[in-house]
Amino acid sequence: MSVLEIRDLHVSVGEGDDAKEILRGVDLTVRSGETHAIMGPNGSGKSTLAYSIAGHPKYTITGGTVTLDGEDVLEMSVDERARAGLFLAMQYPVEVPGVSVSNFLRTAATAIKGEAPKLRTWVKDVKSEMELLEMNPAFAERNVNEGFSGGEKKRHEILQMRLLKPGIAILDETDSGLDVDALRIVSEGVNRSREEGQVGVLLITHYTRILRYIKPDFVHVFVNGKVVEEGGPELAEKLENEGYASYVKTAEVAQA
Amino acid sequence: MTDQNTTGLTTESAVLAGELFGEGVGTQAGPPTTPADSTAVAPGAHSHGGTPTGSPAERFTSTDPDAFGVPTGREETWRFTPMKRIRPLLDGAASDAKLSWTTDLPEGVELARVDAGDPLLKGLPEPVDRLAALTRQNAGGADVVRVAQEAQLDRPVTLGLAGTGSEDVVWGQLVVEVGAFAKATVVLDHSGLAKYSGGVTVLVGDGAQVTLVTVQEWAPGAVHGGQYDAVVGRDATFKQVVVTLGGDLVRLVSNVQYAGPGGSAELFGVYFSDETQHQEHRLWVDHAVPNCSSNVLYKGALQGEGARTVWIGDVRIRPAATGTETYELNRNLVLTDGARADSVPNLEIETGEIVGAGHASATGRFDDEQLFYLCSRGIDAETARRLVVRGFFADVVQHIGVDELQDRLMATIDARLGALPGLDEQPVEVA
């Protein structure tokens, strides 16, 4: 059972006079078994939220708290956050030349579990998860993200989520750039973790399309660095029909 | 002291012919035939043929050492080299010293010795500097590896060349002659302590596929100079993998020319320089016939005070070389302060009717995004760094295609990086 609590989180990028505030007081609580969709227009700070929680050095926390099961996440290094149970599926996973997928996965699993996984069961787990994500076995011997198509990168992110079994998974625009088949395959992977009941999901997306496959329990509308409206799945339908225009306009007025 | 182009500096560029020239316009891209004798090249600077970076369009070659004069260290070809340390080779004293040879010759391969008057030697590409000319002269003949036409070797040809610790300079000349349509891998495995200057010429027959691997795992104190030439036949494929890990000073010049259209050359290199090591790799790919390709990938890492690497990548596309496709890339990873990497790519294009031409060079520290990605999966920063450096090398080493050798080289690299925790049972097969 994990609880991620974000309270009045303020985050900026850049330094000194160039510093720009991106997150302006975010409040959010995600529990195991829950799926939260964060929806918002481009530039609203959705990805900043994801990367700030994961600890990317580019972002400076200027206020607020983030805790996981009461532990101060902001005090942890990037790898400590992952070992504490946080996982970020990235929108643009980077290439790591010369490091094979199988080597990477096993190193990560060893780090997360604190000991090397038993070789036989590990190989079996990797193989079956790859099959479910419709990934070719040859994939494991390729270098991490090198020459991967957009869809392959996203499957690889979800494969990691499946194998590392985080308490809280943040999916940053995992749906972007996917065709319908890939979207379905990736969504099914996320749903397998949800059905196991142990993961809390923070699903960041610009579009409602993925919500047809992954049904959220809560929907948060994110505009201009904060949550401006919250509701159930019906809120996603409203956004599908009306878009973000009314929220953006309100935010602009509020800023003026 | 950290030089400006050793830390944080990243230069990158790529030129596509289409951006340089109008369609079908055989424009002369400029340039200078004068060898640059100035050293006024900004750190990290590179040109597309506009500014002299030390690559005379016509390179002077000769078998007569005196035709080059005695280098002072100010010449373009010598300005990066520590002259004091290479002086024993440049003094050119004849000697009978030899390396100790261990050979593994698969069926279809013959090893022979020819004397200095042999016509084979007359036809080889000529030396491009005084050291290479001295080498040709003092070697007094050549060792010749012959691979029969259409031979398909069941394993690599391996020549273990070990220094015996002699103070005398060892002079060597090797010719690898691969018949048409043969497929061969030849490994030159250098080790031990020596002062060695060795010329290597690979004659790649029409349609042949040849991989030449040259490993420099010399003992500390070793000095190694050498000129490598490849003459790539029609529709032939030549791959060279240079791995420089050991020795005090290694300076290798690799040249490629094409004897007929349709040839392909891939030049890979890795080097790892610790304090006091100077590793210099100079490349020259001469496209003079149509429809050939070249691809260059050299990666190096430096750690420790005084670690020094030099990479010069010259590619020339002559007017006749239409349909050429070429790309060269050099990456340097500076692991500690006080190391210096020089990287000078140079591309001279004399016809617009090519498929593509480009280069990129980058020297810097770790890629923060790679480290973030690995750490975000729970991997601690120290392990992530080692994984990234290990991968940085493996990216090139895996082109060798000889598993045992790849494993041995990666083990050497691992030992220098420190053991990677939790990875003892690697690799894991998932099939």
Beta strands in chain A (DSSP E): 3-13, 20-31, 35-39, 59-68, 71-72, 86-89, 96-100, 143-144, 168-172, 200-205, 218-223, 226-231
DSSP letter for each residue of B40-77: -PPTT--BSSSS-SS--SS----S-GGGG----S-STT
pLDDT at B57: 55
Q: Report whether pLDDT(B30) > 70.
A: no
For residue A105, what is the nearest residue in chain B, using CA coordinates? Answer: B377
Backbone angles phi, psi at A145, to 5 degrees: 65, 0
CA angle, A117 then A122 then A126, to 5°: 135
Q: Residue B48: what residue type?
A: H
Q: Give tens-digit pLDDT for B194-225.
A: 999 999 999 999 999 999 999 999 999 999 99
Averaged pLDDT score across all residues of chain B = 86
For residue B368, what is the nearest residue in chain A, using CA coordinates? Answer: A57
Q: Report whether pLDDT(B323) > 50.
A: yes
Cβ(B78)–Cβ(B71) under 8 Å? Answer: yes
For residue B420, what is the nearest residue in chain A, using CA coordinates? Answer: A107
Q: Which two tokens stand for residue B343?
A: 């990287």
The residue that leads in pLDDT, B19 or A11, is: A11
- Residues of chain B positioned with their CB less than 8 A from the CB of A82: 375-379
Q: Shortest Cα distance from A215 to chain B (angstroms)?
A: 26
CA angle, B242 then B243 then B248, to 5°: 115
Confidence of residue B357 (pLDDT cuts 50, 70, 90): very high
- Residues of chain B positioned with their CB less than 8 A from the CB of A76: none
- Chain B contact for A147, CB < 8 A? no
Cβ(B170)–Cβ(B163) under 8 Å? Answer: yes
Q: Give tens-digit pLDDT for B362-381.
A: 998 888 899 999 999 999 99
Residues of B at the A interface, defined by Cβ within 8 angstroms? 367-370, 372-381, 383-384, 387-388, 390-398, 422-423, 425-431
- Averaged in consecutive runs of 10 residues, what is the pLDDT profile of chain A (256 residues)? 95 90 96 96 94 96 97 97 97 92 95 92 95 94 93 96 97 93 96 92 93 95 95 91 84 64
Q: Report whether pLDDT(B292) > 60.
A: yes
Q: Report whether pLDDT(B25) > 70.
A: no
- Residues of chain B positioned with their CB less than 8 A from the CB of A112: 377-378
Distance CA A176, CA A154 (A): 9
Q: Shortest Cα distance from B383 to chain A (angstroms)?
A: 9
Percent of chain B with pLDDT over 90: 76
Q: Which residue's entry shows tokens 């099914």?
A: A188
Lowest mean pLDDT among A56-60, A103-107, B44-48, B303-307: B44-48
Q: Report whether pLDDT(B36) > 50.
A: no
Q: Report whether pLDDT(B17) > 80.
A: no
Q: Which two tokens stand for residue B342?
A: 């020089």
Model confidence pTM above 0.90: no
pLDDT at A26: 97
- Residues of chain A positioned with their CB less than 8 A from the CB of B375: 55, 77-79, 82
Distance CA B194, CA B221 (A): 8
- HSE (side-chain half, CA atoms, 13 Å) at B418: 8
Distance CA B202, CA B194 (A): 23
CB within 8 Å: B377 and A112: yes
Distance CA B168, CA B138 (A): 12
pLDDT at B336: 84
CB within 8 Å: B387 and A79: no
- Residues of chain A positioned with their CB less than 8 A from the CB of B390: 98-99
Cβ(B247)–Cβ(B224) under 8 Å? Answer: yes
Nearest to B298 by CA among B411, B200, B399, B427: B399
Distance CA B133, CA B256 (A): 18
Q: Shortest Cα distance from B211 to chain A (angstroms)?
A: 20
Question: Of the candidates A79, A87, A143, which has its C-beta nearest B375's C-beta?
Answer: A79
Q: Give tens-digit pLDDT for B111-157.
A: 999 999 999 999 999 999 999 999 999 999 999 999 999 999 999 99
Beta strands in B130-204 (DSSP E): 142-147, 157-178, 183-204
Q: Which two tokens stand for residue B389?
A: 């450096």
- Residue B225 bridge partners (DSSP): B197, B251
